[in-house]
Amino acid sequence: MINFNIQPILESKNVSLLPLEKEDFEVLYALASDPQIWEQHPQKNRWKKEEFTTFFEGAIVSKGAFKIIDKQTGQMIGSTRFYDYSEEEDIIFIGYTFFTRACWGTGINTSVKSMMMDYILQYVSKVGFHVGAHNVRSQIAVGRIGGEKTAEQEIAYFGEKPQINFIYEITKNRWESMNL
């Protein structure tokens, strides 16, 4: 049982993470409909409305999904979520993250992940990430924030076929030592 909020409002200097709501579908889909966002992802067709609808339904059901807002423009620039909390293993996952291509290489992903890590590591001892075996871009991004590959596993995303993913973890101790 989760005894902490996995959908708080989080803010940094550049971005706000606000709970994703059903009413956000059209705006978020407009961002996600760029095929290049998904080209390295295990679910390469997520840019198609039917595929994205399944992704979005999973986000709403998770009760841990966020819309990412650029504070300077007030525009939505992507989405992310907390999911798969395990009390037994004292771990929660961060993922299902995507940004518009205009955000790539700008440091926004690092900012978002750092904000999420700072918040959630108050409640768990480690954070996990599922990254597609061919998603080199995301593997590099998770490595940059201190993620260490711990396993390879077939993962079935909400409503989708299983795919091989690499599992990365960051422990609370490692995160704190990197961010002192």
* Nearest CA-CA partner of 128 in 92, 165, 79, 82: 92
Label residue 62 exposed, middle or buried (CB < 10 Å: 0-12, 13-18, 19+): middle
Query: Where do the DSSP E strands lie in the chain?
Result: 10-11, 15-19, 65-70, 76-86, 91-99, 126-132, 148-155, 163-171
CATH topology for 10-178? Aminopeptidase (3.40.630)
CB 56 within 8 A of CB 63: no
- Show Cβ contacts of residue 66 under 8 Å, excluding neighbours closer than 6 positions: 7, 10, 17, 18, 19, 20, 79, 80, 81
Per-residue model confidence (pLDDT) at position 180: 61
Q: What is the pLDDT of residue 118?
A: 96
Q: What is the domain partition of the chain in residue ranges?
A: 10-178
71 CB-near residues (< 8 Å, 6+ apart): 11, 13, 14, 15, 16
CB 147 within 8 A of CB 169: yes
pLDDT attached to residue 82: 97
In the block, tokens 């009390």 appear at: 87
The radius of gyration computed from the CA coordinates of the chain, to the nearest angstrom, equals 15
Cα separation, 91 vs 163, whole angstroms: 21
Q: Are 33 and 47 in contact (CB under 8 A)?
A: yes
Predicted pLDDT of residue 105: 84
Per-10-residue mean pLDDT for the chain, 180 residues long? 91 96 97 90 86 94 96 96 95 94 89 95 96 88 92 82 90 88
Closest CA to 93 of 43, 39, 33, 153: 153
- Give the model's pLDDT for residue 134: 86
Structure confidence at residue 135 (pLDDT): 87
